[in-house]
Structure 1
Amino acid sequence: MGRVAQADETVFVRTLLREVVDSLNPPAGFKVELPFFLPTLVTNVVQLQQVFTNLISNALKYHDHPETGTVQIGCDDAGEFYLFSVKDDGPGIDPEYHDRIFVIFQTLTERDTLESTGVGLAIVKKIVERQGGRIGVKSAEGQGAKFVFTWPKHPPKVKTPAPAMAAAANSAVPLPT
């Protein structure tokens, strides 16, 4: 992640989410509910897709009853950012573990119980933070989980050197004689 520059492009978030859900191929009874409003924005589509794919995939993978589970996607305006949420009705996460789940190679289940590497949420956190956003979870055991993250409405502006610095960098430097 982050090693190869990827161009920003126009993303219809509703279309992106439908593609993510289709790619995950959830059981027929598993529902993903989308809100009325979902934005269109210019951003790195691959990274936004990776965030949603991981969060929705986790809701499906860790659900006690994935054949009847529900995930609700939310989106609110938060100034320069959109505030997205991915809420499930699964088993929830004890608040004691909320920080741990974002640490690489940390899982809350036995490795032989579910196929999990413990890198997914760490990558999600890194992607969100590289975009200038934040991510967190609200959950309690037995009450589902709600992952909330901010994503910029506009791509970050490319920083250019200040005019004085650029002029100095382009001027000839005398060599010692």
Structure 2
Amino acid sequence: MDDLQKTKEELLAEVLVLRKALEKSHADLDQFVYVASHDLKAPLRGISNLSQWLEEDLGPQLGAEPRRQLELLRGRVQRMESMIDGLLDYSRAGRVRHKPERVEVSRLVHEVMEQLPAWASARLELGPGMPALTTERMALQQVFRNLLSNALRHARREELVVRVEAGDAQDFHHFRVADNGPGIAPQYHEKIWGLFQTLVARDKVEGSGMGLCVVKRLVESRGGRVWVESAEGAGATFHFTWPKPQERLT
């Protein structure tokens, strides 16, 4: 009995040591990511500023083609900054936890939509029975932001309609974000969730290729899952499940 108790205490002590080591590792990783992103962004800002100053100094002497090239250069800088931000989001998505709070999903979706640059050109529809739940607001907000932003970015039509619906999946809420955009061919349904994956050339549709990857990591780290239903030319419906402790319907 004494040996069993000793073994139990030794295992508990070992778990505590491993936990502290893991916490330190996470803290070190956060610090590394922050410093790396700062060091990477600093020269990018310098490049952007120099191109702007060059354009201003040359003024009328700068021809149309050189001016276009400078604008293209600044666009590439913005893309790199977006990719760095995407990597930051991805590195934190599976590790950082926020204090749960009461969230009304219908209000959250409206707030997210209004923050997106092209929201005025789209019509947002909400299905009935949108839940209110106690959860991590920041994480759920980022999932909806990335999915709605993805729909707006790839709309390629004047009258874009985005519909958000909620359903029940036992211990989870089942959310659907559907659009009437160009759709996604079946062979790309898995590829789109990868790092830096885009189906349209970045010269045509600007994006980091990180949005859906971050969605997948956020959802799966909370025990849910993500998938898409779509066909080319027929819009897309993105699905994800989210845990539902202490929920009530509004």
Q: TM-score, normalised by structure 1?
A: 0.83
1:100 to 176, 179, 191: 191
What secondary structure sits across from 2:213 in the alignment? helix
Q: CA RMSD in A?
A: 1.4
Q: Deviations over 1:72-99 (max 9, x none)?
A: 1110011100100000000000000000
User: What is the rounded CA distance, in whole Å, between the counterparts of 1:54 and 1:110 in structure 2?
Assistant: 19
- % identity of equivalent residues: 47
Superposition pairs for residues 9-158 of structure 1, below 5 Å? 9-26=101-118, 28-65=120-157, 67-154=158-245
- Could you say which residue in structure 2 is the equivalent of 1:5? 97
Q: Which has the higher strand share?
A: 1
Q: Which has the higher helix share?
A: 2
Q: Could you tell me how far 1:4 is from its partner in structure 2?
A: 3.7
Larger Rg: 2
Structure 1's 29 and 116: CA in aligned 2 closer, same or farther, altered over 3 A?
A: closer
Aligned length: 154
Q: TM-score, normalised by structure 2?
A: 0.59
User: What is the rounded CA distance, in whole Å, between the counterparts of 1:58 and 1:121 in structure 2?
Assistant: 8
Structure 1: state its 5+ residue gaps: 156-177
Structure 2: state its 5+ residue gaps: 1-91
Q: Deviations over 1:92-114 (max 9, x none)?
A: 00000000000011111112221
Structure 1's 132 and 4: CA in aligned 2 closer, same or farther, altered over 3 A?
A: closer
